Amino acid sequence: MERLASVLLSSVLSAGLYATMAYGLAVIYGVMRIINLAHAGLMMLAAYVTLALNTRFGLDPFLSLLVVAPLFFCFGVLLDLTLIRRLPQGGNAPSMQSLLLLFGLWLVLQNLAYVVWGGDTQAILTPYTMSSVPLLGERYGVPLLLVFGVSVLSLLGLNFMLRRSFLGRAIRAVTQNRDAALLSGVNAARISAVAFGLGTAFAAIAGTMLSTLYAFTPDFGRSFLLKAFCIIVLGGLESFTGVAIGALVLALIENLMAAYTSIPTSFQDAISFSLLVLVLVVAPTGLPALFRSFSRRAVAR
Amino acid sequence: MKGARAWMAVLAATLLLAPLLAERGTLNDLWNVAFAVVLASAWNLLGGFAGQISLGYSAFVGIGAYTTVLLADAGWNPWLTLPVAAALAVLFSVVVGLPTFRLRGPYFSIATIGVGEAVRVIASGMEFTGGSSGLRMPSADFHFLSNYYGMAVLALLTVGVMAYVRGQAFGLALSAIRQDIDAAEALGIPSTRYKLLAHALSAALVGTAGGLFAMNFQYISPGSVFDFRLSLSIVLMPIVGGIGTLVGPVLGAVLFSYLQIKLLASPTLRDSYLFIYGGLLMLVMLFEPHGMVGLWERLVQLGRRAGRPVAGAPRGG
């Protein structure tokens, strides 16, 4: 029982990070119908920027979020204005062209990191990197707990923004029904730019937090991109709560597998990748839609 | 299509006659070109003709290569392992294709990244594949020239098959699937079966190339044959050359092999291949979705219009 409790706690802790990581993809997909393959590259870049701020100015990685997130928001808006806007717009399905363009961007970002920082493995060490706190009979690293706190805070902040501000409501309106939103006077070009900036900023927040937990190279982020994608598909691709549910489900599956099966940890990633394929095929509309259709069927009886 | 035929004749003559004239180093480069031509052209059958962009093709190279090495280590003649390599690649293409071909467009592409990565992770963790340290061929039988001819013939065969398929009902059905899958279904084209068939055919060619790769390099590891970067090059070559055309993948393959040789030779450029690949991909997507072939066609049009004054840059169809 105690073991189950600690598995659940670990799952919730990693779900926070997963949700932050996945939300960046979800907002861009929701508003622009674009699958941002450069997400991994942006996370990696944010990790290096955090490292640079840490080594150059001695800035704490968690404090550096205050610099990194706005910086990447601007970078994202810039990317939208210079690159993505040039592609043919419209259509309700994501286009292959945008996918491949952002794939190219990912490669360019990777190379940028190789040129600036070299290919060596890097890590950010802080005084509290190695310290841990006992919780429910297990010890949890301080960075992990801080990451969870920051994730929850940033997601709550985002949720507040989406529900209360005009901009946030416009973003949700475009996500729910693009044509209706445009007819009621929402400026689609501006909302797209903001959405891409927001997605980029969340990729950066995730990247910074990942840099406090893992060592990284310019190749960093690919497995996290796949996990993030798995999460937004699980969550039904666009809703805010869907992302949270998807993150929790993936974290639970991973932690339960690690605790109760003898599958070696080196195969862990293969599990989430296979889960991605499985979910895409079995429940392409996500878990919430699946539940809804089940309950509707139950009511009909 | 007269132009294409001339190009193919040049390619065939170069690949087949080179051993009479060129030295070992040049032949090595040409072997790389032939390998790239197989990968790019075979990918183009599914990605270009049928429009299903797969980002997980290194799995087939890896399956082919591992099959050849494992059977050769068990005492088989390496050449006899190639049909088995192709057959296993086909089997895997069907196993992967059955679920993933239900997905469309970018969803299919993302799923293929997942499949490719899962295969790599599993291959690095398994006992019989030698884990991440890889496997070595039995060292006795290595004849570069026969390896060279093997790859050259496979490259020409691949291009020949593509040229043939394009004119057949099968090729036309694939192009209908690319243009509008619902309309194709409505016309009675069993799209999933055709996609599976295209996937299997290209997997057989790529798997065979993987076997030949193992024979020529004598040593394979998940880092060399299951690498994401290999999947990446396989996608980029036909896209940069001209997706969906016959000549495009060959042009892309030649360009990329040339780039690779140049990049590996220069220590300053060695790490910047990602920049060049990524930059090319972005340029193609932003300015000329039909790649080098599209660019060439624009130039030809420009040449035709040279008599008349042209206002601004012409917009190619």
pLDDT tens readout for residues B234-261 = 999 999 999 989 999 999 999 988 888 8
Q: Among B104, B114, B281, whose Cβ lies nearest the Cβ of A277?
A: B114
| Number of domains into which chain B is organized | 1
SS3 A180: helix
Percent of chain B clearing pLDDT 90 (strictly above): 40
Q: Is B316 a domain residue?
A: no
Cα separation of B37 and B251, whole Å?
8
A217 near B CB under 8 A = no
Predicted pLDDT at B317: 38
Note whether A19 and A155 are within 8 A (CB).
Answer: yes
- Residue B314 falls inside a structural domain: no
Residue B313 domain-assigned (yes or no):
no
Q: What's CA B92's distance to the chain center, in Å? A: 17
Mean pLDDT estimate for chain B:
86
Chain A residues whose CB is inside 8 A of the B126 CB are none
Contact B117 A115 (CB under 8 A): no
Residue B263 in domain: yes
Cα separation, B23 vs B31, in Å, equals 12
Say if B312 falls within a structural domain.
no
Instruction: Reply yes or no on whether the pLDDT at A1 is more than 70.
Output: no
Beta-ladder partners of B136: B219
The chain B residues in contact with chain A (CB within 8 A) are 51, 53, 99-100, 102-107, 109-111, 113-115, 117-118, 121-122, 124-125, 228, 232, 239, 271-275, 277-282, 285-286, 289
Q: How many domains does chain A have?
A: 1
* Residue to substitute from B52, B92, B98, B117, interface A, most A β-carbons within 10 A: B117
Is residue B202 situated within a structural domain?
yes
- With tokens 């192709």, the residue in question is B86
How does DSSP assign A158-205, residue by residue? Answer: HHHHHHHSHHHHHHHHHHH-HHHHHHTT--HHHHHHHHHHHHHHHHHH
Q: Say what the pLDDT of residue B309 is.
A: 53
The range of the structural domain enclosing residue B42 comes to: 2-307
Count of CB atoms situated within 10 Å of the CB of A274: 18
Q: Which residue has the tokens 């932690």?
A: A255
Residues of A with Cβ-Cβ distance to B239 under 8 angstroms? 100
- Residue A158: CATH number of its domain: 1.10.3470
* Domain hosting residue A157, numbered range: 2-300
Chain A hits for B50, Cβ within 8 Å:
none
The reply to whether A112 touches chain B by the CB within 8 Å rule is yes
Q: Is residue B164 part of a domain?
A: yes
Select the residue of A107, A114, A267 nearest B277 (Cβ to Cβ).
A107
Q: What is the pLDDT of residues A7-36, one digit of tens each?
A: 888 888 889 999 999 988 888 888 888 888
Q: What is the CATH number of the domain that holds B159?
A: 1.10.3470
Is B317 a domain residue? Answer: no
Interface probe with A: pick from B98, B256, B282, most Cβ of A within 10 Å: B282
Q: Hey, of B54, B96, B110, B233, which one would you mutate to test binding to chain A, going by the most A CBs within 10 A of its CB? A: B110
pTM: 0.84
Give the residue on A whose Cα is nearest the Cα of B278.
A104
